[in-house]
C-alpha cells in the first residue's frame, strides 16, 4: 500500500490541497485532495506534474564555499562571522536579506525576527515586492490593515465577476475552473475580463475590455463617478464606515467621458456596458492580480477598485468584495510575519513606536529596527554601490526576476559576501554566491503556507532529506546562535509556528486583523495534524468562511475605511525610439524561472520556446515574420525570442513571458529590458509597461535538434527544453559553417567516431544529420535558411523509437513522418500529451465540443487547464470549414 500524505501545492496562491503517495518502489504520485476547501480535489497541469519535478537531478546537496563542497559547521561559521563583521564595522544598514513568498511561514518568521529584532535593520525585502506590494499598500491605505476581505466561495456566490489584470485561466487555474463550473451551473452569472490581451481567460468572458496599458485607474475612477450618481451608492455604509468619499468622487469626476475613453482605449459603449453591469449587480467581486499590482500606478489601481466597492457597501459580504489574488504559495504568510522592509511582524507597523516596543518585548530582543528598510529595487542599488556588505538570498532568483536584471547581476558580482539558499545548484543567481546553502524542497520540508483567502495549510514532508540539505529556518537559526543571539533554539517548525501565533495575539484585543491566537500553544502532534483553517482565529472555531468589513470595523484608529482620491496617469505613448509597449507575464505550464517546471517533460512541451506576441500590423510595419526570430530592445538591454504574430494583443504592444533565462535560452532574460521604475507608494516595479523597439533578428540559418544528451549549444540563438528521451533545441546561426558534423558532435556530446546519416541540398541550404548508436538515435539536426518546418513532436518521438532498419533511419533525414508515424503536433493537453493535430483530427470526425474531443482523445479530461485552448481549436476549425 502506498503511504499517503496530505500537503499543499508549492506553486500558486490558490493553495490547493494535494495528496502525495509514496509507493513501495519509492515512486511518488500526486492527486488533488478532495477534502481541501481550496480545490476540492482539482489540480492544474503544474500541480498534476509535481511528481516529475522532485528528482535530485541538478539539486544542490552539500554546502559550498566558492564552489568547493564543505561541511555545515565550517560554512555556517563563515556566514555568522561575515554578518557579524559587517554589522560591527559598518552598522545594521550594511546587511540585507532578500527572501521569497515561496518560503514557508516558519522560515519567513525566523528571517524577519533575525533581521529586525537582532541585526536591528529592516533591510529584509522579498520577491513579494515585485508581486503583491501594491496590494499591501492599497489595503493599508483603504482598510488600515493588509486584509483580503473575502473568500473563494465569493467567486461562486457572485452574479458578476470582474477580472482585471488577471489571466486566471493560466495563473490560478483551479479558481478558473471553479468559476467556469459556477458559470456553467448559473449561466446568468456574468464575467468581465479587463486585460490588454485577449487571454485564455476571455474564453468565459461575457465582456472583454482590451484596456490600454495602465488605463485601470481611469476606468475605476469613471466607475466611481458613475456609481456616486446611481442607485447603487450605499450612503448609509459610506457615512457610517468610511471617510474621504467626497474628495475621491470629486477627483474621479474631473475626468470627462471622452478623456476616460481616451485613457482607457475603450469605446463609450464598452464603458457604459461595464458601468451598467457593475451598478445593477449587487453581488460583484473584483479579482485582480499583476496587471494591477505591477505598475507605476499599482497602488492607485488597487485603491480605485476598492473605492468602488466601498461606495456600494459591497465589501466582505457573501459574493461581494475586492479580491487580490496572491501569486506565490506563501505570499500571504510572508505578509503575516512582516517579511517586507516596511512592515513589522504580525501585521504591526514599523513606523509605530508602540508596535516596535511590543514586538521587541515579545522577542526579548536586544534591538528593533527603528525605521523601514530598503525595498527590493533600492536594496540591489545599495548592493551595487557598496553600501551592503553582506547579502543573503533565499528561495528567489533575482538575476532573472528583478527589473534591470543585468544591473542586479553586476551588483552581486560586486558584493563582498553573497549567501544563496536554494534547492538547485546552477541558477542565474547561485552562480554569484560566495556561499551556497542546500535547502530542503517541497516534499522534504515541513511548515505552513497561507493562500489568497487567508487559509493556512500545512505543507508536510513525505520524502527523506537528500544529501545534507537542511530547512531554511534551521540555516538561519544556526547562524543566529553562532552570532550569540538568544531566542533561536527551535527544535522544529511547530515551535516557530506557535511563537508566531502567540505574537499575533500578543496585546491584540481585536486591534489587529491578523490573530491566530488559537494556535499559540500548539504542540508537535496538533501541528502535525493541523487541518486547513482561515484566519482570523483568536479562538479555535473550526473552519467556517470568514469575511471582514461587511459591517465596517476597519483598522484605522477611527475604525473607518478611507476612500483615496487618485489621479489617472496618461496612457498615450510617443517614444520615437522605443515605440512599442512590452508586457511581460506568465504561460500556463511554467513557473517563474523554470528551476522546477523546466524539469518536467510534460510541462515543457506546451510552450517550448520563449516568444513575443506581436500584432500583425506591427509585424507588417517592422517586417517581422511569424515563426522568425525577433530582437526586442529597451534602453537597458536586448532579448531574442520567437515571433508569434497574433491579434491577441492590440497594435503597439508585445507580450513576452517572464520565465526564460540563461539556463534555457541564449538571450531571453526579459527582466534585463525592464527599467527599475517603481510605484511611488509601494515600490513595486512596473514590469507590464516597458518601452521597447522590435526588429527582425536576422540569421543565415535556422536549426532544430533533438538529442539524447543535454546540449551545450554554441549558437547565436538557442532555446532548449526537456523532451521525452532527451532534449529539443531551437537554433539560429548568423553565419554559415563548414563543420556542422563537428559542431553537432561537440554540442550533443557525440563521439567523433560516430558518423552521421546525412542529407544536404546545396540549392536550398537544407541540411539534416542523424547520429545513431546501434538502433538508438543520439541526435538529429535540421538546418534550413527558413524557420525549420520539421514536425517537432514526431522528431522528438524518434528519440525513444528503435531504429532497426535503414528506411526508418532515412526517414529522419527526410525530416518527414512516415504514413505509420503521424505527427501529433504541438502539445495542447500536457496531462495526456495530446497534440493539436489529434485534436483537429477529432474535430474533423465530428467532435464539436470540448467534451466530445475529450471523449475521443482524453484531452482536457484531467486537470482541465487546456479546455479553453481546445475550444479555440474547435472554433478555428469550424470557422475555417465554414469559409
Ligand atoms: N502558470 C503559472 N501560474 C502562476 C505563476 C507562474 O509563474 N506560472 N506565478 C504565480 C505568481 S507569483 C503570480 S504573481 C501570479 C500572476 O498571475 P497574473 O497576474 O494573472 O499573471 P500575469 O501573466 O503576470 O499578468 C496578468 C495579466 O495582466 C495583464 N495586464 C498587463 N498590463 C495590464 C494593465 O495595464 N491593466 C490590466 N487590467 N491588465 C494588464 C497581462 O496582459 C496579463 O494577461 O501567477 C501565479 N501563478
Ligand atoms: N518581467 C517580469 N518580471 C517579474 C514578473 C513579471 O511578471 N514580469 N513577476 C514577478 C513576480 S510576481 C514574482 S513572484 C517573481 C518570481 O521570481 P523568483 O522568485 O525569482 O522566481 P522563482 O523561479 O520562483 O525562484 C525561486 C527560487 O527558489 C528556489 N527554491 C525552490 N524551493 C525552495 C526552498 O524550499 N528553499 C529555498 N531556499 N529555495 C527554493 C528555486 O530553485 C528558485 O531558484 O518574479 C517577478 N519578476
Ligand atoms: S492552481 Fe495549480 S499551481 Fe495553483 S495551487 Fe492549485 S494545483 Fe498548484
Ligand atoms: Mo508573484
pLDDT digits (tens, 9 = 90+) for 192-201: 999 999 999 9
- CATH number, position 192: 3.40.228.10
Q: Which atom belonging to ligand 3 lies closest to the Cα atom of 175?
A: 1
167 pocket-lining for ligand 1 (C-beta < 6 Å): yes
131 pocket-lining for ligand 1 (C-beta < 6 Å): yes
Same domain as 386, residue 260 = no
588 pocket-lining for ligand 1 (C-beta < 6 Å): yes
CA of 42 to the centre of ligand 3 (A): 9
Which residues have CB under 6 Å of ligand 2? Answer: 100, 102, 127, 130-131, 290, 294, 327-328, 394-398, 400-401, 421-424, 427, 439, 441, 472, 584-585, 592-593, 595, 658, 670-671, 674, 687
Residues 6+ apart with CB under 8 A from 807: none
Same domain as 198, residue 320 = yes
pLDDT at 413 over 80: yes
- CATH number, position 382: 3.40.50.740
Strands of the 533-534 sheet, one edge to the other: 447-450, 455-459, 533-534
Domain boundary residue, one of 324, 356, 374:
324
CA of 270 to the centre of ligand 2 (A): 37
Q: How many domains does the chain have?
A: 5
pLDDT top residue among 360 and 831: 360
Q: State the chain's mean pLDDT as an integer.
A: 95
290 pocket-lining for ligand 1 (C-beta < 6 Å): yes
pLDDT band at residue 642 under the 50/70/90 scheme: very high
The Cα–Cα gap between 589 and 604 comes to 7
Residues 6+ apart with CB under 8 A from 248: 224, 307, 563, 564, 565, 566
CA of 443 to the centre of ligand 3 (A): 15
Residue 121 falls within a domain, yes or no? Answer: yes
CA of 757 to the centre of ligand 1 (A): 46
Mutation to probe ligand 3, out of 30, 51, 173 (largest number of atoms < 8 A from CB): 173
Q: Which atom belonging to ligand 2 lies closest to the Cα atom of 100?
A: 19
Closest residue (by CA) to atom 7 of ligand 2?
585
Residue 590 falls within a domain, yes or no? Answer: no
The cell numbers describing 215, all together, are 488605463
pLDDT at 632 over 80: yes
Same domain as 455, residue 353 = yes
Same domain as 149, residue 297 = yes
Phi, psi (deg, nearest 5) at residue 650: -65, 155
pLDDT at 564 over 90: yes
Measured from the Cβ of residue 670, the count of other Cβ atoms closer than 10 Å reads: 30
The cell numbers describing 770, all together, are 542523424
591 pocket-lining for ligand 1 (C-beta < 6 Å): yes
Domain boundary residue, one of 467, 496, 525:
496
Block residue for cell numbers 485582480: 288
Same domain as 311, residue 193 = yes
Q: What does the pLDDT read at residue 819?
A: 60
Domain boundary residue, one of 304, 324, 344:
324
Ligand with an atom nearest the CA of residue 15 = 3
CA of 47 to the centre of ligand 3 (A): 5
Same domain as 348, residue 220 = no
Residue 583 falls within a domain, yes or no? Answer: no
Residues 6+ apart with CB under 8 A from 603: 45, 46, 49, 52, 589, 590, 597, 830
Same domain as 803, residue 842 = no
Mutation to probe ligand 3, out of 20, 31, 46 (largest number of atoms < 8 A from CB): 46
Q: Which atom belonging to ligand 1 lies closest to the Cα atom of 586?
A: 23
Q: What does the pLDDT read at residue 814?
A: 81
Q: Which atom belonging to ligand 2 lies closest to the Cα atom of 10?
A: 32
CA of 103 to the centre of ligand 2 (A): 10
Q: What does the pLDDT read at residue 818?
A: 67
Ligand with an atom nearest the CA of residue 217 = 1
Evaluate whether 128 touches 335 at the Cβ level (below 8 Å). Answer: yes
- pLDDT digits over 58-86, tens only? 999 999 999 999 999 999 999 999 999 99
The Cα–Cα gap between 397 and 393 comes to 8
CA of 131 to the centre of ligand 4 (A): 4
Measured from the Cβ of residue 709, the count of other Cβ atoms closer than 10 Å reads: 13
pLDDT at 471 over 90: yes
Same domain as 124, residue 138 = no
The Cα–Cα gap between 277 and 390 comes to 54
The cell numbers describing 261, all together, are 475613453
Measured from the Cβ of residue 88, the count of other Cβ atoms closer than 10 Å reads: 9
Omega within 30 of 0 (cis) for the link into 544: no
The Cα–Cα gap between 575 and 573 comes to 6
Same domain as 279, residue 138 = yes
pLDDT exceeding 90 applies to what percent of the chain?
87
585 pocket-lining for ligand 1 (C-beta < 6 Å): yes
Closest residue (by CA) to atom 1 of ligand 2?
671
668: enclosing H helix or E strand? none
- 846-851: long-range pairs with CB below 8 Å, 24+: 847/874, 848/874, 848/878, 849/874, 850/874
Angle subtended at Cα 354 by Cα 351 and Cα 359, rounded to the nearest 5 degrees: 90
Residue 475 falls within a domain, yes or no? Answer: yes
DSSP code, position 466: P
Whole-model pTM? 0.96
Evaluate whether 290 touches 688 at the Cβ level (below 8 Å). Answer: yes
Q: Determine the structural domain holding residue 877 and report its residue range.
A: 827-882
- pLDDT digits over 728-753, tens only? 999 999 998 889 999 999 999 999 99
Q: Which atom belonging to ligand 3 lies closest to the Cα atom of 11?
A: 3
Mutation to probe ligand 1, out of 327, 330, 331, 658 (largest number of atoms < 8 A from CB): 327
Which residues have CB under 6 Å of ligand 3? Answer: 9, 11-12, 14-16, 39, 43-44, 46-47, 172-174
The Cα–Cα gap between 695 and 786 comes to 17
CA of 594 to the centre of ligand 2 (A): 9
- pLDDT digits over 647-688, tens only? 998 999 999 999 999 999 999 999 999 999 999 999 999 999
The Cα–Cα gap between 53 and 463 comes to 13
Q: Which atom belonging to ligand 3 lies closest to the Cα atom of 8?
A: 5
Mutation to probe ligand 1, out of 287, 294, 586 (largest number of atoms < 8 A from CB): 586
The cell numbers describing 250, all together, are 470629486
Same domain as 299, residue 191 = yes
164 pocket-lining for ligand 1 (C-beta < 6 Å): yes
Residues 6+ apart with CB under 8 A from 753: none
Q: What mean pLDDT comes out for the span 533-562?
A: 91
Same domain as 195, residue 100 = no
- pLDDT digits over 160-207, tens only? 999 999 999 999 999 999 999 999 999 999 999 999 999 999 999 999
Q: What mean pLDDT comes out for the span 31-39?
A: 96
Q: Which atom belonging to ligand 3 lies closest to the Cα atom of 32?
A: 7
CA of 289 to the centre of ligand 1 (A): 6
Closest residue (by CA) to atom 15 of ligand 1?
327
pLDDT top residue among 718 and 761: 718
- pLDDT digits over 269-317, tens only? 999 999 999 999 999 999 999 999 999 999 999 999 999 999 999 999 9
Mutation to probe ligand 3, out of 9, 289, 327 (largest number of atoms < 8 A from CB): 9
Measured from the Cβ of residue 206, the count of other Cβ atoms closer than 10 Å reads: 16
Cα dihedral 241, 246, 248, 249 sign: positive
CA separation (Å) from 184 to 187, 453, 759? 5, 23, 54
- CATH number, position 839: 1.10.10.1100
pLDDT at 231 over 70: yes
Closest CA to 309 of 420, 164, 450: 164
- pLDDT digits over 111-132, tens only? 999 999 999 999 999 999 999 9
- pLDDT digits over 680-715, tens only? 999 999 999 999 999 999 999 999 999 999 999 999
Angle subtended at Cα 31 by Cα 29 and Cα 32, rounded to the nearest 5 degrees: 155
Q: Which atom belonging to ligand 3 lies closest to the Cα atom of 10?
A: 8
Q: Which atom belonging to ligand 2 lies closest to the Cα atom of 397?
A: 20
CA of 396 to the centre of ligand 2 (A): 4
Closest residue (by CA) to atom 12 of ligand 1?
327
The Cα–Cα gap between 435 and 70 comes to 10
Q: What does the pLDDT read at residue 821?
A: 66
Q: Which atom belonging to ligand 3 lies closest to the Cα atom of 591?
A: 3
pLDDT band at residue 421 under the 50/70/90 scheme: very high
Q: What does the pLDDT read at residue 517?
A: 96
pLDDT band at residue 138 under the 50/70/90 scheme: very high
Residue 354 falls within a domain, yes or no? Answer: yes
The cell numbers describing 304, all together, are 480605485
Same domain as 346, residue 265 = no
815 pocket-lining for ligand 1 (C-beta < 6 Å): no
pLDDT exceeding 70 applies to what percent of the chain?
99
Residue 310 falls within a domain, yes or no? Answer: yes
Number of helical H runs and strand E runs in the chain: 30, 34
Evaluate whether 770 touches 749 at the Cβ level (below 8 Å). Answer: no
pLDDT band at residue 17 under the 50/70/90 scheme: very high
- pLDDT digits over 377-406, tens only? 999 999 999 999 999 999 999 999 999 999
Q: Which atom belonging to ligand 2 lies closest to the Cα atom of 104?
A: 35
CA of 43 to the centre of ligand 3 (A): 6
Mutation to probe ligand 1, out of 171, 192, 286, 305 (largest number of atoms < 8 A from CB): 171
Q: What does the pLDDT read at residue 209?
A: 98
Residues 6+ apart with CB under 8 A from 650: 196, 210, 212, 265, 615
Residue 399 falls within a domain, yes or no? Answer: yes
Closest CA to 610 of 551, 536, 673, 669: 669
Q: What does the pLDDT read at residue 39?
A: 96
Q: Which atom belonging to ligand 2 lies closest to the Cα atom of 402?
A: 47
pLDDT at 817 over 80: no
Residue 289 falls within a domain, yes or no? Answer: yes
Closest residue (by CA) to atom 2 of ligand 3?
44
Residues 6+ apart with CB under 8 A from 507: 358
Amino acid at each position: 500500500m502506498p503511504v499517503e500524505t496530505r500537503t499543499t501545492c508549492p506553486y500558486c496562491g490558490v493553495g490547493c490541497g494535494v495528496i502525495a503517495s509514496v509507493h513501495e518502489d519509492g515512486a511518488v504520485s500526486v492527486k488533488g485532495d478532495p477534502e481541501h476547501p481550496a480545490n476540492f480535489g482539482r489540480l492544474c497541469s503544474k500541480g498534476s506534474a509535481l511528481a516529475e519535478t522532485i528528482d535530485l537531478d541538478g539539486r544542490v546537496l552539500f554546502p559550498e564555499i566558492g564552489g568547493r563542497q564543505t561541511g555545515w559547521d565550517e560554512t555556517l561559521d563563515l556566514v555568522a562571522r561575515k554578518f557579524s563583521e559587517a554589522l560591527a564595522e559598518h552598522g545594521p544598514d550594511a546587511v540585507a536579506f532578500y527572501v521569497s513568498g515561496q518560503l514557508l511561514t516558519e522560515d519567513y518568521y525566523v528571517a524577519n525576527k533575525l533581521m529586525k529584532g537582532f541585526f536591528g535593520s529592516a533591510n529584509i525585502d522579498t520577491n513579494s515586492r515585485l508581486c503583491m506590494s501594491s496590494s499591501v499598500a492599497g489595503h493599508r491605505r483603504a482598510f488600515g490593515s493588509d486584509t483580503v476581505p473575502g473568500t473563494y466561495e465569493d467567486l461562486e456566490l457572485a452574479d458578476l465577476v470582474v477580472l482585471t489584470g488577471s489571466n486566471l485561466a493560466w495563473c490560478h487555474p483551479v479558481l478558473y475552473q471553479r468559476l467556469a463550473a459556477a458559470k456553467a451551473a448559473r449561466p446568468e452569472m456574468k464575467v468581465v475580463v479587463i486585460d490588454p490581451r485577449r487571454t485564455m481567460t476571455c474564453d468565459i468572458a461575457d465582456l472583454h475590455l482590451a484596456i490600454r496599458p495602465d488605463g485601470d485607474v481611469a476606468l475605476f475612477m469613471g466607475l466611481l463617478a458613475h456609481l456616486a450618481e446611481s442607485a447603487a451608492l450605499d450612503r448609509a455604509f459610506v457615512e457610517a464606515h468610511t471617510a474621504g468619499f467626497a474628495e475621491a468622487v470629486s477627483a474621479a469626476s474631473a475626468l470627462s467621458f471622452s478623456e476616460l475613453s481616451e485613457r482607457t482605449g475603450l469605446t463609450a459603449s464598452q464603458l457604459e456596458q461595464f458601468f451598467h453591469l457593475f451598478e445593477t449587480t449587487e453581488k460583484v467581486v473584483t479579482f485582480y492580480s499583476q496587471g494591477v499590482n505591477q505598475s507605476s500606478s499599482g497602488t492607485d489601481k488597487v485603491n480605485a477598485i476598492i473605492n468602488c466597492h466601498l461606495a456600494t457597501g459591497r465589501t466582505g459580504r457573501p459574493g461581494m468584495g475586492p479580491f487580490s489574488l496572491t501569486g506565490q504559495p506563501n505570499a500571504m504568510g510572508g505578509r503575516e510575519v512582516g517579511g517586507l522592509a516596511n512592515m513589522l511582524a504580525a501585521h504591526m507597523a514599523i513606523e509605530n513606536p508602540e508596535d516596535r516596543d511590543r514586538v521587541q518585548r515579545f522577542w526579548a530582543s536586544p534591538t528593533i529596527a527603528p525605521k523601514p528598510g530598503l525595498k527590493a529595487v533600492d536594496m540591489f542599488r545599495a548592493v551595487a554601490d557598496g553600501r551592503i556588505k553582506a547579502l543573503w538570498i533565499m528561495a528567489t532568483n533575482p538575476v532573472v526576476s528583478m527589473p534591470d536584471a543585468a544591473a542586479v547581476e553586476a551588483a552581486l558580482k560586486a558584493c563582498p559576501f553573497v549567501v544563496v539558499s536554494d534547492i538547485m545548484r546552477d541558477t542565474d543567481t547561485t552562480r554569484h554566491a560566495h556561499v551556497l546553502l542546500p535547502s530542503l524542497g517541497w516534499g522534504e520540508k515541513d511548515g505552513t503556507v497561507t493562500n489568497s483567502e487567508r487559509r493556512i495549510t500545512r505543507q508536510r514532508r513525505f520524502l527523506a532529506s537528500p544529501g545534507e540539505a537542511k530547512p531554511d529556518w534551521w540555516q538561519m537559526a544556526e547562524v543566529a546562535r553562532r552570532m550569540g543571539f538568544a531566542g533561536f533554539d527551535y527544535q522544529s517548525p511547530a515551535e516557530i509556528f506557535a511563537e508566531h501565533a502567540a505574537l499575533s495575539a500578543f496585546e491584540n484585543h481585536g486591534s489587529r486583523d491578523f490573530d491566530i491566537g488559537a494556535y499559540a500553544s500548539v504542540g508537535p502532534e496538533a501541528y502535525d495534524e493541523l487541518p486547513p483553517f482561515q484566519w482570523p482565529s483568536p479562538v479555535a472555531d473550526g473552519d467556517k468562511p470568514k469575511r471582514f468589513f461587511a459591517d465596517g470595523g476597519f483598522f484605522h484608529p477611527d475604525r473607518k475605511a478611507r476612500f483615496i482620491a487618485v489621479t489617472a496617469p496618461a496612457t498615450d505613448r510617443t517614444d520615437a525610439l522605443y515605440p512599442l509597449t512590452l508586457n511581460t507575464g506568465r504561460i500556463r505550464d511554467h513557473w517563474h524561472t523554470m528551476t522546477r517546471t523546466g524539469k518536467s517533460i510534460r510541462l515543457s512541451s506546451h510552450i517550448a520556446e520563449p516568444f513575443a506576441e506581436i500584432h500583425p500590423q506591427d509585424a507588417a510595419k517592422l517586417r517581422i515574420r511569424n515563426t522568425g526570430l525577433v530582437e526586442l530592445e529597451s534602453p537597458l538591454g536586448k532579448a531574442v525570442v520567437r515571433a508569434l504574430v497574433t491579434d491577441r494583443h492590440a497594435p503597439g504592444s508585445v507580450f513576452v513571458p517572464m520565465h526564460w533565462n540563461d539556463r534555457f535560452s541564449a538571450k531571453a532574460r526579459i527582466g534585463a529590458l525592464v527599467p527599475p521604475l517603481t510605484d511611488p507608494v509601494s515600490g513595486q516595479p512596473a514590469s507590464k509597461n516597458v518601452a521597447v523597439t522590435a526588429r527582425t533578428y536576422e540569421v543565415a540559418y535556422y536549426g532544430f535538434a533533438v538529442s539524447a544528451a543535454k546540449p551545450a549549444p554554441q549558437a547565436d540563438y538557442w532555446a532548449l527544453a526537456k523532451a521525452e528521451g532527451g532534449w529539443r533545441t531551437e537554433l539560429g546561426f548568423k553565419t554559415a559553417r563548414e563543420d556542422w558534423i563537428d559542431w553537432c558532435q561537440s554540442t550533443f556530446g557525440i563521439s567523433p567516431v560516430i558518423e552521421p546519416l546525412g542529407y544536404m541540398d546545396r540549392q536550398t541550404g537544407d541540411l539534416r544529420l542523424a547520429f545513431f548508436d546501434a538502433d538508438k538515435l543520439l541526435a538529429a539536426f535540421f538546418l534550413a535558411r527558413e524557420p525549420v518546418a520539421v514536425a517537432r513532436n514526431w522528431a522528438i518521438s524518434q528519440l525513444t523509437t528503435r531504429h532497426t532498419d535503414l528506411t526508418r533511419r532515412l526517414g529522419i533525414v527526410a525530416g518527414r513522418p512516415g504514413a505509420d508515424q503521424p505527427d501529433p503536433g504541438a502539445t495542447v493537453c500536457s496531462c495526456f500529451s495530446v497534440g493539436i493535430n489529434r485534436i483537429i483530427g477529432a474535430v474533423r470526425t465530428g467532435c464539436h465540443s470540448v467534451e466530445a474531443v475529450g471523449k475521443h482523445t482524453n484531452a482536457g479530461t484531467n486537470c482541465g487547464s487546456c479546455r479553453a485552448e481546445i475550444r479555440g481549436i474547435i472554433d478555428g476549425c469550424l470557422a475555417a470549414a465554414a469559409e
